[in-house]
A and B are shown apart, each in its own frame.
Chain A
C-alpha cells in the first residue's frame, strides 16, 4: 500500500516539475520576444532623426526617405508577428541603401551629428541581433522541452506547441555579400 502511494507521489512530483519546466521555457520565450520589441522601438525612434540630418545634405534621395518613413509608420502599427518581421527586414534593407548612397555625400559622411547617429544605429542593430539570438536560444530550449520525452507527453496534453526561430530574410543574406555590393 505504502509502496503504491509512494510511486504515485513520485509520479505526481515528476509531473509537476516537468509541467513547470515547460511553463518556464515558454515564459522565457515570451520574455526574450519582449526584449526584441524594446530594441526595435529604440530603432524606430532613431529613424526620424537620421532622416532629418541626412535630408539637409542629400537633396536628391527623396525616394529613400519616403520609403523609410512609410516603413517606420507601418512597423509601429503592425500587430502580427510575421508582418513585423517582414517590415523589419525591409527597414534593414532600406537603411543599407541609405548608407550606401551616403558615400556620394562626403559632407554628410563627415558631419559629426551623422556619425553619432550612425553609431547609435549600429548599436541598436547589434542589440537587436543579440536579442534575436537570445530569442532563438530560448525557442530552442522550449522546443527541446516540447519534443523530448517525458515532457512531450505533457506538451501534448496541455497544448504546448513548437515555436519558430527567427530566420534571416533572404534579402538580408544577399546584402551581406560584399561581391554583390560591388557589382551593383
Chain B
C-alpha cells in the first residue's frame, strides 16, 4: 500500500492532469444543461404567462431532469474509468466500475442464508497484496416479501470482500455477528445459537470478547480452531473496530469471505455543477480503497509459514 503521505504528490503529478481533462468535459455538459434548461423553462413560462397551459412547463422540467441524468451518467462513467481507476492503480489494483463480486461467489460464501431475489453490485476492485489475491466490490442484495403488499427488504448492503486465505482447510467455518447473545445474554443466547439449523455445529471459542461479538459455526471443531487461532480472533475484532460496522466472515474453499455492512455509496462522481477537483473527496476515496486492501495486513494474510504457499 502506498502510504497516505504520498497522496499529496500523487494528486499533483497523476491526478491533476486527468482532473483538468475531465473538468472541461464537465463544464461543457453543465453548459448544455444550463442552456437547454434556460430555453426550455423560458418557453414553458411563456405558455404560462399567456395562460395557454401549465403542462408544457411541467413536461419541460421533467425533460430537463432526464437530460441531467443522461449527462450525469456519462460524466460519472468517465469519472470512474479515469479517476477512480487511477486511485486503484496507485494501490496496484484493477478497477471495473460495471462489474461486481459475482452472484456465484456471493452464494458460495454462504454468509447469508436467504436467497436474494435482487442482486446488484458495482465497483469491482481486484489485485494482489504481496502474495494474497483480493477481490471486493459494493453489493446490495434484497428479497421480496410475499403476500399482498410485496415489498423489498435488504439482506446485505456494503462491501463484499474476498481474499485468499493463508491456511489449507476442507470444511466450512462461519463467524457471524452475534445477535442472540447480545439480546439474551450468553446463557439463553447460546441456546438459540445451538438451535440455528441453517448452520453447522456451534463452535465455542475461549476468547470471551470474541464470543460476545460473534457466533461461530463450523463443520469441524478442530478445523474451526485451526483457522481461528487466538491471534486471528483478536485481528478480526480489530477489523470490526476499524470499520465500525457489522462484520460477517466465512472460510470456505481456501478463501475468506468478508461482508462489511456499509450504507454509503462509494466512488460516485460529484454532481455536474461542482468542480471535479475536490481534494478532500478524492483523498477519501483513496482511503476507502486503502482501508479495504489493509484488511490483508489486519488479518495478517501474507504470513505464509504454513503449508499453503
CA of A140 to CA of B211 in the docked complex: distance in angstroms? 15
| B interface majority secondary structure | loop
CB-CB < 8 A to A131: which residues of B?
Answer: 222, 225
CA of A182 to CA of B226 in the docked complex: distance in angstroms? 29
Is residue A87 within 8 Å, beta carbon to beta carbon, of the partner chain?
Answer: no
B212-226 contacts to A (CB < 8 Å): 221-223, 225-226
Nearest CB of A to B187, in Å: 11
Nearest CB of B to A13, in Å: 19
CA of A120 to CA of B307 in the docked complex: distance in angstroms? 6
Convert A22-46 into 0s and 1s, putting 1 for each residue whose CB lies closer than 8 angstroms to a CB of B.
0000000000100100000000000
Q: Are A130 and B225 neighbours in the complex by a CB distance under 8 Å? A: yes
CA of A138 to CA of B202 in the docked complex: distance in angstroms? 12
Residue of B nearest to A138 (CB): B221
> Do A123 and B225 contact each other (CB < 8 Å), given the known contacts A133-B206, A136-B206, A137-B206?
no
> Do A126 and B204 contact each other (CB < 8 Å), given the known contacts A32-B221, A119-B305, A119-B307?
no
Is residue B167 within 8 Å, beta carbon to beta carbon, of the partner chain?
Answer: yes
> Do A130 and B223 contact each other (CB < 8 Å), given the known contacts A137-B204, A137-B206, A141-B204?
yes
Is residue A69 within 8 Å, beta carbon to beta carbon, of the partner chain?
Answer: no
Residue of A nearest to B220 (CB): A134
B226-273 contacts to A (CB < 8 Å): 226, 229
Number of interface residues of A (CB under 8 A): 19
Number of interface residues of B (CB under 8 A): 14
Contact of A129 among B204, B205, B221, B229 (CB under 8 A): B229
Is residue B306 within 8 Å, beta carbon to beta carbon, of the partner chain?
Answer: yes
Please give the residue numbers on chain B whose beta carbons come within 8 Å of chain A beta carbons, in ascending order.
167, 203-206, 221-223, 225-226, 229, 305-307
A sample of 18 more A-B contacts (CB under 8 A), given A127-B222, A134-B221, A137-B221, is: A35-B222, A119-B306, A126-B306, A130-B223, A130-B225, A130-B226, A131-B222, A133-B205, A133-B206, A133-B225, A134-B225, A136-B206, A137-B203, A137-B204, A137-B205, A138-B221, A140-B204, A141-B204
- 20 A-B contacts (beta carbon < 8 Å): A32-B222, A35-B222, A119-B305, A119-B306, A119-B307, A122-B305, A123-B306, A123-B307, A126-B229, A126-B306, A129-B229, A130-B225, A130-B226, A131-B225, A134-B225, A137-B203, A137-B204, A137-B221, A137-B225, A141-B204
